[in-house]
Amino acid sequence: MTANGEHTAGMEDEPRGSGSAQHITEDEASLYDRQIRLWGLEAQNRMRSSTVLLLSLRSLAHETIKNLVLAGIGRLIVMDDGAVTVDDLGTGFLFREEEGAVGQERVRAAAAQIESLNPLVSLTVRPTLSPFVRDPSTASSSVDTEREMVDFLRKERVDVVVACDLKRDQLIAIDGAARKAGSMFYGAGSYGFYGYVFADLGADYEYVYSPLSTSTNPSPSLFKKKLSFPSFSQALETSNWYLGHKSTTLGASPFRDLTRQATRDSDPLTVIAMLALWEYEKRFGSLPSSSSRKRRRAIRDEGEQRSGTSHDADEAPSDDPPHIDDHEGVTASDSHEAFNQIYSDFKSQLGLNPKFRAPGDQHGLDMESIMLSHLVTHAEHSFAPTLAILGGLLAQDVLRALSKKDKPFVNLLAVDSMGGTGAVSRWAMLDAVDA
């Protein structure tokens, strides 16, 4: 353990990372035999020579770590600045109550479990999120945080940054630094039964893929493709949403001018809800299910601007206005209204086919309203089924990006684990071209 609390474990004195000239050992070939048969030796060697940085050991990280480590990446760096709580025990298997995890630093409590998954993977844990996430109340304005992030990523030779369950603005900042450092970036999070994975693999990402074999072409040739990914900030830009999905202008709506069936197949409502959550967080500083006086005042002020009314400056608003019920499990009416308005505005701006109707369940219930109500109430809650699905999909795509075998997410996956659906939509980027 170093002076700053960093701990490194693994089978090798020198951790493997990008640029390693080593090749797969006999032990690794035996352990990863099935994967090598599936992906090929070259792809497996890329993965075992890679370094992945995972930020935040909250719920989604557990399933993601398991899949990355079992697949045989070279080195994993895990960073988190929190301690294990009782709530953490229900959302991840890396913390064990019987081993006294509650109260320990998350990275310390998880380290032994991660190591046991695959001792061939070099593990580094750091009990901090700095320089990637800092407390704004204590951070010095003179510190160039982006410069520090870039320096860290280059020093550690990080190939992929995976940021789990962080805030919108934090994701934007980390992604910006990753692009400057030449590292690929994934941002992912869960909101109750819903979640997302965003991929930014850089402006010049190349991969190979093989078409499905047919009776006339049982051994198709490999093709090389190229993708140019936008940053998270660019993907969230709304100014070109008035353009149709066929437009070559970056930032067009991926849903405008689609047929009714194509709109239904694209499953647009879940991803629009994710966009609305991020916009809500941008405006009010927290998710809808949070409770704070500052947030409620911001919502009230925005509502007054829309309606043309104003609040009496001499009237001191109470912490809990009569129309707000902060009881557990009950949606605060102001949060619900503000979030629904953002969602409705985005839905309109993206130009969904007017003939498209949100699907109902087998009992005829309005699934769109159920989704919105669930997100307002449970956006800050974690559910094991969602974490298992989303974590598996996230890890699978990280491995796909590292191996450069087959097409990765392009570029935003939205998952509805309650409805059993998930769809990838392309934001502010064009599809793959020949390399």
Q: In this predicted structure, what is the pLDDT of residue 393? A: 97
Q: What is the pLDDT of residue 45?
A: 82
- Separation between Cα atoms, residue 149 and residue 136, nearest integer Å: 16
Per-residue confidence (pLDDT) for residue 112, from 0 to 100: 93
The CATH 3.40.50.720 portion of the chain extends over 7-231+384-434
Task: Tell me which residue has tokens 């990372």.
Answer: 17
Write down the pLDDT at residue 361. 53
Q: Report angle CA 166, 171, 175 to the nearest 5 degrees.
A: 145
Q: 74's torsion region: left (phi>0), alpha (psi -120 to 50) or beta? A: alpha
The whole-number pLDDT of residue 62 equals 95
Burial 226-262 (b: 16+ CB within 10 A, else e): ebebbbbbbbbeeeebebebeeeebbbbbbbebeeee
Report pLDDT for 155.
97
Per-residue model confidence (pLDDT) at position 141: 52
Q: How is 184-239 classified by DSSP, letter by letter? A: EEEEEEEEBTEEEEEEE--TTEEEEE-PPP-SS-SSPPPEEEEE-PPPHHHHT--T
| pLDDT of 142 | 52
pLDDT tens, per residue, the chain with 435 residues:
443 556 665 433 344 444 444 577 777 777 777 777 777 777 778 888 999 999 999 889 999 999 999 999 999 999 999 999 998 888 878 998 888 889 999 999 999 999 999 999 999 999 999 999 986 655 555 557 899 999 999 999 999 999 999 999 999 999 999 999 999 999 999 999 999 999 999 999 999 988 887 878 877 788 999 999 999 999 999 999 999 999 878 899 999 999 999 999 999 999 999 999 999 999 999 998 755 444 445 545 555 555 555 444 444 444 443 343 443 433 457 888 999 999 999 999 999 999 998 776 555 578 899 999 999 999 999 998 999 999 999 999 999 999 998 999 999 999 999 889 999 999 999 999 998
Give the dihedral sign, CA 138/141/145/147: negative
Considering the domain 7-231+384-434, what is its CATH architecture?
3-Layer(aba) Sandwich (3.40)
Give the residues across from 416 on adjacent strands. 194, 421
56 Rama class: left (phi>0) / alpha (psi -120 to 50) / beta: left
How far is the C-alpha of 53 from the C-alpha of 57, rounded, in Å? 11
Whether the Cβ atoms of residue 84 and residue 101 lie closer than 8 Å to each other:
yes
What does each C-alpha distance from 309 to 134, 303, 304, 335 come to in angstroms? 38, 8, 5, 19
Q: What is the pLDDT of residue 308?
A: 57
Token pair for 158 = 């990080």
Backbone angles phi, psi at 414, to 5 degrees: -120, 130
Which DSSP helix (H) or strand (E) runs through 385?
A: helix 384-403
